[in-house]
Each structure stands twice: as C-alpha cells, then as structure tokens.
A and B are shown apart, each in its own frame.
Chain A
Amino acid sequence: MDAPVPSLDVAPSPHVSAGGLTTASMMREVMIGLLPVCGFAVYRFGPGVLLRLLLAMGLCIGFEALFMGMRGRVSAIRDGSAALTGLIFALTLPPTVPLFVIAVGSLVSIGLGKVVFGGLGQNIFNPAMVGRAFVTAAFPASMSAAAFVPDGMSGATPLTLARAGETLPLVDLTTGHCWGSMGEVSAVACLLGGGYLMWRGAMGWQIPLAVLATSVLFGVFRHGVDPTAPWGWTHELMAGGLCFGAFFIATDPVSSPVSHSGRLMYGSGVAILTWFFRSFSGYPEGFMFAVLLMNAATPLINQLHVTRPVGGHV
C-alpha cells in the first residue's frame, strides 16, 4: 500500500491559535458582513427596522448576562455572540413585527436555544432559529405569510405567489423590491455581505456553496418535471430566505459540522430539505426548519467525516 500523501490543507479545528480569528473578531466580521443587509432593510422598510434590530440585540445581550449569571458562569457578552444571535433572529422577522414577539423570541433564543445547553459553543441548534421557530409556532398571527406584507399594502411574499403559480420579475427579487423578512428581501445585499465574509476568511465557502448549488440543482429538477411552471431555478435561488440563510444562518460555526466534506453534505441537506418544505409543507418557506433538522443531524455528519490524522490509520 502506498504511503498517504501528507495534506497541506488547513484542517478542521481545533488549531493552535496564531492570534488570527478569535470568537470576538469573527462575530465582529459577521456583523460587518450583515451591514449591507441591515442598511437595505432600513432603506426598504423604514426606521422601525432599526428599532427592532437594536431591541433584539439588546434583549439577547441582557438575557445572556442574566442566564449566565444565574448559572454562576462568566458570561460571554464581550465576544458579541449574543448580540449577533439577536441581530440574525430579528432579520428573519417581518418588518412590522410586534415588539413582544421580539422579546419572547430573544428570551427563547438565548434561554432555550443556547444557555440551557451550557452557553456559547455547546448549543446543538442555531439559537436564532430556535427563537424564530418558537415565535412562528406561538404567534401565527404575527408570523404567517400575510404578516410579511404591511397593512394597507397589496401583494404577497414571493414564495406565497409561487404557491399560487405566479411569479415576480427576477430583477425585483434580486434587488429586494418584494415583501419578506427584514433581512431576506435583497439577494444582492446578502451576496455582498457573504462575499465580504469569505474575503476576510471569517467563513468557509463550503456551506454557502453547497446550499446554493444544491438549490440550483433542485430548481432545475422542478423545472424539468413541470416545464410550464413560471418558477425557474433563478427564482428558487433569489426568493425567500435562501441567500440570507446560506450565508448567515447555515454557517453558524457551533451548530454546523467541522470538516470541509461534512459542511458540503450539511449544506446540501439544508438545501434539499428547504426545497421539500417549499414544495410540500404548509409553510411557504422552509429554510428555518431545514437548518434546525440539519443541526440535529450534525453529530452524525461529524461522525461520518472524522478527519484521518496524517499518516494515521483509517
């Protein structure tokens, strides 16, 4: 048997620290990456968005301090992870969401999503998505597809339209001239932020690529099955929360697999489940459920993709 060729790739964590990426600097980079998304949301939906984003961040920081204090642990507020959870959670909500929904969701995100498991790095599920799933089930009136379109406005979210067999011009979807949650409407803003994160090395390319590529594949498949459908793979990619989620939700380093191949598998899984939820479930969008389910599968994926030490046994 040939001797294995030593690999010079950057292996999955843990690494010896070289003073490079710390938790705090990573969270800071992601926040910078979210700036175009937040900026566009404020431009598109008005200053109420700013209030909601700041409220969610403040509440998440407060709950983190409170709960970690109750556990007698040093809280990890300074690394910005709680604030980031709050920001991502808020960006997945409708722009006119009532403030109590944000309060309850922040409580659940930090309390049931993160601190019960032991705090940063211990949680099985993406905390922001735990909070969002809770409020989705708890307050259907504030979180249903109709709630994403402000009162007095006509129209529907792109994915609701897709259910009805209608479609929106692709350019509107891409530039965000449609209804949806605060963060998801503009695919361009998400791509800008995601590109920044990859350029800075704060995020691997594997998960976003796997999510987007698999979605394209399934979009083409849908078109192949029903060529008359107005909904092509480009719509599949640009509508709903797919772009935002691929870059900012699925890439949560805690609840996603560690190895490169594992991340590819995880991203494809998220995209496939999203496609299934979009096609067959009671909700128009399914990215949140897809991420939560794949979070649950992450330990299994990690087991399948244990990295072989250089020169070691299989």
Chain B
Amino acid sequence: MSESSLPTPGERFVNGVLPENPVFRQLLGLCPVLAVTATLASALTMSFAVAVVLLGANVVVSLIRGWLRPHLRIVVFTLTIAGFVTLVDKTMAAFLYPMSKELGPYLPLIIVNCIIICRCEVCASKQGVGAAAADALGQSLGFTLALCAIASVRELLGAGTLLGFQVMPAAWPEWVVMILPPGAFFTFGLLMALLSVIQLHREHRRVV
C-alpha cells in the first residue's frame, strides 16, 4: 500500500478519539481498562503512562521503519516499547511512589498492551513521524477519555468521590460492587452500549 492511500496525520488523530477508539471500538488493551479504573486518579496516571509510551514507541518505530524486516518487526516493536515502559516505570517509582505501588504490575504490563503494538503495526511502521505522532496522540486521547469515563462512573457510585473529593452527599450508600471487578465489566459494557446507541442514532439521522 502506498503511503498516499493511508490516512493523513489529521485523520489519524481524529480517528483515535472516537471512530477508532482503542477501548470502545477496537476493544484493545482491556486488562488495564478493567484493572485500574476503580479510581479516577489511577485511571489518569495509567492513561498518562500509556500516552508517553505510545508516543515514544510510535515515533521511534516510524523513524526506523526503513530498516524493519517483516519477520523481526514484532521483536523490534516489543523491545522499543519495553525501553519506554522501563523509563516510565522507574520514573514513576522515583517521583510518584504511592501511585506506582497502587498500579503495581499494570505499569510494567504496558509492554504487552496490544494498543501500542497495534499502532506500531498499523501506523508507525508504514507512515512518517508526523502521522505516527498524531496517531499516538489521538489514540492516547481516546484511551484517556475511555478510562476516565469508566473510572468516573465507578468511583462516583462506588465511593461517592471523584479524584478523592467527596461529591455525593454524605448519606450516599456506597455501591461496593462498582469498585470490585464486576463493576468494571458492568460499566464497560453499558458505556459501550451507550456509545453504540449514539452512533446508531447519528447514522440514522444522516440517512434520513
């Protein structure tokens, strides 16, 4: 496929936010989506870490895309990603120790997060640095929005707080199940259904 038939940097950015949202549309990288969305703070930190790694990996892979060999490309992607994940992991452990403890193994696990490998494969290994960076930013934004949406619902219902601040009245009965893993599945499923409904309505309006 020639480079001209691929999406432009602008399209790459927009696509990542909703049309190809990594969480709600591509259903990629669901492990952190379900595991770290009990509170908004951990979801934001996780999104930031993924954004840094995704941007770094996409840019580097795009720069070296001329040297990639088909049978070795996944190894190169993974090594590149691992480098950036180590950087982020150690930096967080040094400066954000409590949060690093809270996220636990999910930070190192970004290495195997399929969103990043997918973007390296789909975009960065085929397009220039501009498109790769725009793609990384768009996908990260989409990932951040998705994680924050899920985490807001879970923290609000499960603890009555947002980012640790009391939002609900003091008498709010905490829905403990929303903090537990089933709450992540319920919220994720219902939000995905909501997005699909909105999408259907918009398409319907366009046709009519």
| Residues of chain A at the chain B interface (Cβ within 8 Å) | 98, 100-101, 104, 112, 116, 134, 137-142
- Interface-located stretch among B30-38, B133-141, B171-179: B171-179
- A112-B186, A137-B182 known; A98 and B176 CB under 8 Å? no
Determine if B180 is an interface residue (Cβ-Cβ < 8 Å): yes
Write out the residue numbers on chain A whose beta carbons fall within 8 Å of the beta carbon of B193.
Answer: 116
Task: Give the chain B neighbours of A137 by CB distance below 8 A.
Answer: 176-177, 180, 182
Determine the chain B residues whose CB is within 8 A of the CB of A138 once the complex forms: 175-178
What class of interface size applies to chain B in its complex with A?
under 10
Nearest CB to that of A98 among chain B residues? Answer: B173
In the assembled complex, 16 residue pairs joining A and B whose CB atoms fall closer than 8 Å, in A order, are A98-B173, A100-B173, A101-B173, A104-B175, A116-B193, A134-B177, A137-B176, A137-B182, A138-B175, A138-B177, A138-B178, A139-B173, A139-B175, A140-B176, A141-B173, A142-B173
CB interface residues, B 141-200, toward A, < 8 Å: 173, 175-178, 180, 182, 186, 193
Task: Provide the residues of chain B in CB contact with A139, threshold 8 Å.
Answer: 173, 175-176
CA distance A104 to B177 in the complex (A): 12
User: How close is B79's CB to chain A, nearest CB, in angstroms?
Assistant: 42
Interfacial residues, chain B to chain A (CB-CB below 8 A): 173, 175-178, 180, 182, 186, 193
The smallest C-beta distance from B129 to any residue of chain A, in angstroms, reads 44
Residue ID in chain A nearest B178 by CB atoms: A138
A50 CB, nearest partner CB in chain B, Å: 23
Residues in B with CB closer than 8 Å to A134 are 177
B160: min CB distance to chain A, Å: 13
Separation in Å of the B142 CB from the closest CB of chain A?
A: 25
Closest to A108 in B: B186
**Chain A hits for B177, CB < 8 A:** 134, 137-138
Give the complex CA separation of A138 and B177 in angstroms.
4
Q: How far is the CA of A241 from the CA of B182 in the complex (A)?
A: 25
CA distance A22 to B125 in the complex (A): 62
Q: How far is the CA of A142 from the CA of B176 in the complex (A)?
A: 11
* Residues from chain A with Cβ under 8 Å of B178 in the complex: 138
When chains A and B are docked, how far (Å) is the Cα of A23 from the Cα of B193? 30
Q: How far is the CA of A113 from the CA of B193 in the complex (A)?
A: 15
Bound form: Cα–Cα A74–B180 in Å: 35
C-alpha spacing A140/B175, complex, angstroms: 9
Closest chain B residue to A141, Cβ basis = B173
Of listed A137, A138, A139, A142, residue having the most chain B CB within 10 A:
A138
Specify the chain B residue showing the minimal Cβ separation from A101.
B173
Measured CA separation A112–B188 after assembly (Å): 13
Bound-state Cα–Cα, A134 to B173, Å: 14
Q: In the complex, what distance in Å separates the CA atom of A141 from the CA atom of B175?
A: 10
What is the CB-to-nearest-CB distance from A119 to chain B, in angstroms, rounded to a whole number? 15
A141 to B173: give the CA distance in the assembly, Å: 9
Q: Which of chain B's residues have a CB closer than 8 A to the CB of A140?
A: 176
Residue of B nearest to A71 (CB): B197
Cα distance A134–B190 in the bound complex, in angstroms: 15
Shortest distance between the CB of A216 and any CB in chain B (Å):
34
Q: How far is the CA of A137 from the CA of B173 in the complex (A)?
A: 13
Q: In the bound complex, what is the Cα–Cα distance between A104 and B180 (angstroms)?
A: 17
Expressed in whole angstroms, the minimum distance between the Cβ of B194 and any Cβ of chain A is 11
CB of B122, distance to nearest CB on chain A (Å): 32
Residues in B with CB closer than 8 Å to A116 are 193
Residues in A whose Cβ lies below 8 Å from that of B176? 137-140
Contacts of B180 on A, CB cut-off 8 Å? Answer: 137
User: What are the 7 closest A-B residue pairs judged by CB atoms, nearest first?
Assistant: A137-B177, A138-B177, A138-B175, A138-B176, A140-B176, A139-B173, A100-B173
* Additional A-B contacts beyond A138-B177, A139-B173, A139-B176 (12; CB < 8 A): A98-B173, A100-B173, A101-B173, A104-B175, A112-B186, A134-B177, A137-B177, A137-B180, A138-B175, A139-B175, A140-B176, A142-B173
| Chain A residues whose C-beta falls within 8 Å of the C-beta of B173 in the assembled complex | 98, 100-101, 139, 141-142
Q: Which residue of A lies closest to B175 (CB)?
A: A138
Query: With a CB–CB cut-off of 8 A, which chain B residues contact A98?
Result: 173
Shortest beta-carbon distance from A90 to chain B in Å: 18
**CA–CA, A138 to B173, complex, Å?**
9
Chain A residues near B182 (CB-CB < 8 A): 137
Q: Min CB distance, B175 to chain A, in Å?
A: 4
Q: Using Cβ atoms and an 8 Å threshold, which residues of chain A touch B175?
A: 104, 138-139
Minimum CB distance partner of A100 in chain B: B173
Q: Tell me the smallest distance from the CB of B131 to a CB of chain A, in Å.
A: 39
**What CA separation (Å) do A298 and B176 show in the bound complex?**
29
Shortest Cβ gap from A266 to chain B (Å): 24
Distance in Å: Cβ of B178 to nearest Cβ of chain A:
7
Complex alpha-carbon distance, A139 and B173, angstroms: 7
When chains A and B are docked, how far (Å) is the Cα of A140 from the Cα of B173?
Answer: 10
